[in-house]
Structure 1
Amino acid sequence: MNTTRTLPTIPLPATIRSRFVEDINGLSMHVLEAGFESKGRPCVLLLHGFPELAFSWRKVMPALAEAGYHVIAPDQRGYGRTTGWDARYDGDLNAFRLTNLVRDALGLVSAFGYRSIDAVVGHDFGSSVAAWCALIRPDVFRSVVLMSAPFAGPPPLAFDTADAPPKPKREDPVHRELAALPRPRKHYQWYYSTREANADMLHAPQGVHDFLRAYYHHKSADWKDNKPYPLQSWSAGELAKLPTYYVMDLASSMAETVAAEMPSAESTAANQWLPDRELAFYSAEYERTGFRGGLQWYRCGTSGLFTAELETWSGRSIDVPSCFISGKQDWGTYQRPGVFEAMQATACTRMLGCHLVDGAGHWVQQEQPNQVSRLLLQFLKQAAENVADEPFSA
């Protein structure tokens, strides 16, 4: 029995409905849907990141639907009201690897009766899933929008090594070097991969609601020290320039890290992009599910267990129309040195634009939804024209 069916109503605009779609790659998938009133509409799939939910798209879905699109936004594997995933730290990580997340997305659009859709749009970690959707199945995902997390392309295979002496794989020294800094530090993705990270956040001393309030504030344009710029290298000295939500103090949990930046009661009361009544939905969902499902995604990356599988696509690029949208005050654009540049130079061959939206930090579609909606609709129009200009191919 799916106990999520008895949960409180989600605070959504009247034009968005909540529903479940069964048997999606082993999941009962919770989906928000707009533009469902008539059949035959072109479809757009929206993929959220961490620590968010399909709910993060509530402000852009009505505009896309009003423009004629059928808009689908799932709680992805490990999140929210979607069930059928293993919440144990010692459970099977295979289910959370990127290729299986692509399979989730593929199964969902197929369940809705689409052989192809106009665009897949991903934010934060959802950007990685969207990128791999477009890379692996460009016939289905005919354009892609990457938000707040640029894509460097698939990992490369070793090349021209048959007659060279074998080189042992080097351990990345950056973590040891970060820990050895005068102010010892650690990278958040590796912290998120630890056994204790879920409990640190689920049982945060300030409570889940205030933890999320501080986390969202710290990574938003409201935190005035978010003034990002490109880093020169993946090195301890450069990474230490990142805010503490990315490169944490070595002895601190994430709950402790963001507590130091908790906004005042006045600031919280004045917040228009995430008022407390909307944040309360996020906090209630995470209090119920914990954070483990989203954290498993990070473990897939930091463990290196699935790199060999991703090397299957070594040398491939995203060749469908693409664009990038991020907040101008979002460090996510630059947190991996060189990736923003590589995305435009090699990873995406038909990049139609990169947009850094002023007045937005990491939560760009929540902080500046009107601007994001405008950019998405502009891109969808350009992408359709771009595809129409292609020579016919059998």
Structure 2
Amino acid sequence: MRFPTEFPTPKLISVNGVTLEVFEAGSENRGNPIILCHGWPEIAYSWRHQIPALAAAGYHVIAPNQRGYGNSSQPTAVTEYDISHLSADLTALLDHYGYDNAIFVGHDWGAFVVWGLALLHPDRVSKIINLSLPYQERGEIPWIEFMEAILGGDYYFVHFNRQPGVADAILEKHTSQFLRNLYRKNEPLKEPDPGMSLINLAKADRADGEPLMSQQELAVFVSAFEHSGFTSNINWYRNLDRNWHILAGADPIIKQPALMIYGDRDIIPKSENLSTFVPNVDVTSLDCGHWIQQEKPTETTKKILDWLKDRSAA
């Protein structure tokens, strides 16, 4: 994988029994860490717009490709992608750098991991900034079982779990086309087509909306997923019910200061009870879709830095 010259050179760091590919900036700001956690199907490069701005603002920026992504390790066992392992990777990364805690920023699945990290290891998280995915209430029944009852077997979370390997193979066969069709902005609202949406997207000759990024930027993502494939990172989805059980013993209330950034056009709904579980939360939104920090990079960075400044002054 080749990264543009302005993006940090990766380091391979061994933590928690795996090797993580980590991108670092602002090491001169040691003592003020902020860790950026990407979603799916993303890599640390999705934070390319925020990394230099955060470093310039005085933060030691650490952006890992999490396990299953890029040149990071890809354990074979599905259970090695549960929230216990994913959160332990991050605490081990803190240990590697000698930090007791840090500010954590997450998007999409990265947000899920940050919420889970705050539940399982609350002393390691000083502040939370999450994009797109609000805190997920645990509920009465496991998440996949709930989704299957409400959304059906073709819903991609359910499909990944009930038909393991089927979607993985199709996405790997059409990696470039899938990512090109997925990374769009200004998509018109429409009813979803029947079938499994991501398989449909991978096979489609064209997609609605406008390209989210340049061909050169897209090539970085394509290269990363041609290298890693999709099974290892889709395994995150295959642990959702396991995570439901793991989190059963955790205090469900997140006490850290938190900022939740929504995309007003995102298909992920806004939480109606976020402050019940995250009482110290501020909520804001941008006029964009799901890929918030890439679609509205300047505005996202400003919201992050303004909130951090306000919280530091409080």
TM surpasses 0.5: yes
Select the residue among 157, 160, 171 that pairs with 1:189: 157
CA distance in 2, matches of 1:348, 1:173: 23
The reply on whether 1:343 has 2:310 as its aligned counterpart is: no
The reply on whether 1:295 has 2:231 as its aligned counterpart is: no
Secondary structure class of the residue paired with 2:222: helix
Counterpart contact for 1:153–1:317, Cα < 8 Å: no
Secondary structure class of the residue paired with 1:114: coil
Q: Which residue of 2 aligns with 1:52?
A: 42
CA distance in 2, matches of 1:75, 1:121: 14
Cα distance per residue 1:35-72 (max 9 Å; x no partner): 12x15340100000000001100111111000000001
CA distance in 1, matches of 2:61, 2:238: 30
Deviation at 1:174, TM superposition (A): 6.2
Q: Which residue of 1 aligns with 2:249?
A: 312
CA distance in 1, matches of 2:18, 2:299: 33
Secondary structure class of the residue paired with 1:320: coil
Counterpart contact for 1:13–1:58, Cα < 8 Å: no
Select the residue among 18, 21, 46 that pairs with 1:30: 21
CA distance in 2, matches of 1:177, 1:124: 21
Q: Which residue of 2 aligns with 1:103?
A: 88
Counterpart contact for 2:155–2:197, Cα < 8 Å: no
1:1-394 → structure 2 map (5 Å cutoff): 8-13=1-6, 16-22=8-14, 24-36=15-27, 38-83=28-73, 85-87=74-76, 92-117=77-102, 119-155=103-139, 172=145, 175=148, 186-193=154-161, 194-195=163-164, 196-204=166-174, 208-217=175-184, 220=185, 222-225=186-189, 244=192, 249-250=194-195, 252=196, 254-257=198-201, 259-260=203-204, 262-263=206-207, 271=211, 273-301=212-240, 304-313=241-250, 315-334=251-270, 340-344=271-275, 346-351=276-281, 353-358=282-287, 360-386=288-314
Counterpart contact for 1:214–1:259, Cα < 8 Å: no
Cα distance per residue 1:7-43 (max 9 Å; x no partner): x4312525x3321112x1111110111112x153401
CA distance in 1, matches of 2:202, 2:79: 31
Secondary structure class of the residue paired with 1:104: helix
Cα distance per residue 1:229-280 (max 9 Å; x no partner): xxxxxxxxxxxxxx53xxx623x4623245548248xx86xx4x41111111
CA distance in 2, matches of 1:364, 1:39: 26
Deviation at 1:318, TM superposition (A): 0.6
Q: As a proportion of its length, which structure holds more helix? A: 2
Deviation at 1:176, TM superposition (A): 6.0
Q: TM-score, normalised by structure 2?
A: 0.90
| Contiguous gaps of at least 5 residues in structure 1 | 1-7, 158-168, 180-184, 227-242, 335-339, 387-394
Residues 177 and 25 from structure 1, CA distance in 2 versus in 1: closer, same or farther, beyond 3 angstroms?
closer
Amino acid at match of 2:122: P
Deviation at 1:172, TM superposition (A): 4.7
Counterpart contact for 1:134–1:143, Cα < 8 Å: no
Secondary structure class of the residue paired with 1:52: coil
Counterpart contact for 2:138–2:244, Cα < 8 Å: no
| Contiguous gaps of at least 5 residues in structure 2 | none
Q: RMSD in angstroms over aligned alpha carbons? A: 2.5
CA distance in 2, matches of 1:189, 1:30: 26
Amino acid at match of 2:160: Y
Residues 153 and 284 from structure 1, CA distance in 2 versus in 1: closer, same or farther, beyond 3 angstroms?
same
Matched residues, number: 311
Q: TM-score, normalised by structure 1?
A: 0.73
Deviation at 1:99, TM superposition (A): 1.9
